[in-house]
Copies of this chain bind each other. A is one copy, B any other.
């Protein structure tokens, strides 16, 4: 899958691309079921909210076949090879739960802020690809983006270790307010977007795009996979975080066949019967 000229321009202008229904119901059903099983395990890679509900599971692509196939899926890998003009490797792999009733906020931040400060990543030549495992609605804690904020560079941030169970380099309110004002399109709409859609939809966003997400107060879970792909020549240089949070294997990804995940999902469904 290649991005077309319109998509490339939109990504450059706005800092993100939304691709509805990028994966089929069949593919997503297998991933969702595997994610739920992983959240029930007691692994060190599964982090929890203060209530005990799952918050995020790291590195599932290293021990789960469905997520391994997703991490080298051509629909995700090829657009990033195209954008970076070189091979990519998996820097991070998370399945964020935003569990029904329990999923807490992620404060305003830039992903690259963490990768630069914690991992010594040289340039913002890495980005997150969000794959929706559940329907994302306005009410169940969608991602909120400040369009164009990726053009502001890497902003000063404070290390928030208090608000939630996941330490994050977060931006102050004045900075966020200014970026939001600058992003207002001028027609009365706000300078914040919150893309929503069916399971299987995909959001690709620049490492410096400022984003946040509210808590999930509803009974509708909102699981999203975040696959972080980094240009191979831009690999991290500091190893402060565990290997299963910030990977140290910089081997270029060889994409699997486009139908590999679907084939797996079918065999999986057969096995489950």
Binding site for B on A (CB under 8 A): 100-101, 105, 107-108, 137-140, 144, 173, 176-177, 180-181, 190, 192, 194, 212, 214-215, 217-220
Q: Is the CB of B217 within 8 A of A144?
A: yes
| Chain B residues closer than 8 Å to A138, beta-carbon distance | 138-139, 194
In the complex, residue of chain B having the shortest beta-carbon distance to the beta carbon of A140: B190
| A139–B212 CA distance with the chains assembled, in angstroms | 11
Task: Tell which of A108, A140, A214 has the most Cβ of chain B within 10 Å.
Answer: A214
Q: Is the CB of B219 within 8 A of A176?
A: yes
Name the prevailing secondary structure of the A interface residues: loop
| Chain B residues closer than 8 Å to A137, beta-carbon distance | 190
Q: Is the CB of B190 within 8 A of A144?
A: no
Q: Is the CB of B105 within 8 A of A180?
A: no
Across the A-B interface, give the 8 residue pairs with the lowest CB-CB distance, nearest first: A138-B138, A177-B219, A101-B173, A214-B214, A180-B219, A139-B192, A212-B217, A214-B217
- Within 8 Å by CB of A190, from B139, B176, B212, lies B139
| Chain B residues closer than 8 Å to A107, beta-carbon distance | 217
- Within 8 Å by CB of A218, from B140, B180, B215, B218, lies B180
| A190–B141 CA distance with the chains assembled, in angstroms | 14
Q: Is the CB of B139 within 8 A of A194?
A: yes
Complex A-B: 20 CB contacts under 8 Å = A101-B173, A101-B176, A107-B217, A108-B217, A137-B190, A138-B138, A138-B194, A139-B192, A139-B194, A144-B217, A144-B218, A180-B219, A180-B220, A190-B218, A190-B220, A192-B218, A214-B214, A214-B215, A214-B217, A215-B215
